């Protein structure tokens, strides 16, 4: 998974290299900023906060992250923990998708298990080798491979063949860029003062 994350981070670093932050609105925790390159019109995005959520919109797409009253300190502290960050994204937004690369990695690992683990049977070895030879065309999704390879899991939970979506990674990089280029103290939750 790290390869896709690293590639996105590198591309985002270049895309946001000349971005600036312009405040558009402020009323307590209701705030909005435009992040863009003043000389070019691409890769702009808006960051908006409301109580309990941070909303990103713009060229990269739209996503809502919800966790705490003022999301800026939360994002600043936890943006690098991608798994936890992804859990706080609205359920309507897909953060992961089937990854043929992850499936291929898993199959190769099944062919050559670590020391102390059972070697695949000849039937399983043949199934794995045949699957690797056939390739992973885009039209064959996760369901196809789960059905085809179900006997390899020996009745246990199926392996995770997912990776983070490029859109999620780009939006996360945009939020990461913003929280590292904009600083202000957090706004305390007024309901906690009671």
pTM for this entry: 0.87
**pLDDT tens-digit series, residues 37-51:** 999 988 999 999 999
Are 89 and 167 in contact by the 8 Å Cβ rule? The answer is: no
- Rounded to whole angstroms, the Cα distance separating 150 from 112 reads 18
Structure tokens at 131: 């699957």
Classify strands 96-98 and 162-164 as parallel, antiparallel or unpaired.
antiparallel
Structural domain boundaries in the chain: 2-95+165-186, 98-163
Distance CA 2, CA 149 (A): 25
The per-residue pLDDT for range 122-157, each reduced to its tens digit, is 999 999 999 999 888 767 788 889 888 988 887 778
pLDDT at 137: 76
**153-186: pLDDT as tens digits:** 877 787 889 999 999 999 999 999 999 999 999 9
DSSP calls for the chain: -HHHHHHHHHHHHHHTTT-EEEEEEEETTEEEEEEE-TT--SS-EEEEEETTEEEEEETT--EEEESSSSHHHHHHHHTT-HHHHHHTB-TTS--EEE-HHHHHHHHHHHHSPPTTSPPPPHHHHHHHHHHHHH---TTS-HHHHHHHTGGGGTTSPPP--EEE-HHHHHHHHHHHHHHHH---PPPPPGGGG-
pLDDT of residue 1: 53
Q: Are the C-beta atoms of residues 8 and 173 closer than 8 Å to each other?
A: yes
């Amino acid at each position: 998974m790290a390869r896709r994350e690293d590639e996105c981070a590198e591309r985002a670093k270049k895309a946001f290299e000349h971005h600036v932050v312009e405040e558009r609105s402020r009323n307590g925790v209701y705030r909005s900023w435009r992040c863009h390159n003043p000389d070019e019109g691409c890769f702009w995005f808006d960051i908006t906060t409301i109580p309990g959520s941070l909303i990103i919109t713009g060229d990269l797409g739209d996503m809502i992250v919800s966790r705490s009253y003022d999301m800026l300190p939360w994002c600043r502290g936890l943006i690098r923990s991608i798994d936890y960050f992804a859990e706080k994204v609205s359920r309507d937004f897909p953060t992961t998708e089937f990854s043929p690369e992850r499936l291929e990695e898993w199959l190769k690992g099944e062919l050559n298990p670590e020391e102390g683990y059972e070697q695949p049977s000849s039937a399983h070895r043949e199934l794995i080798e045949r699957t690797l030879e056939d390739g992973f065309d885009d039209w064959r999704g996760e369901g196809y491979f789960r059905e085809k390879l179900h006997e390899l899991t020996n009745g246990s939970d199926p392996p995770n063949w997912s990776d983070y979506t490029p859109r999620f990674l780009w939006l996360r990089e945009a939020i990461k860029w913003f929280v590292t280029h904009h600083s202000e103290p957090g706004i305390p939750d007024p309901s906690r003062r009671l």
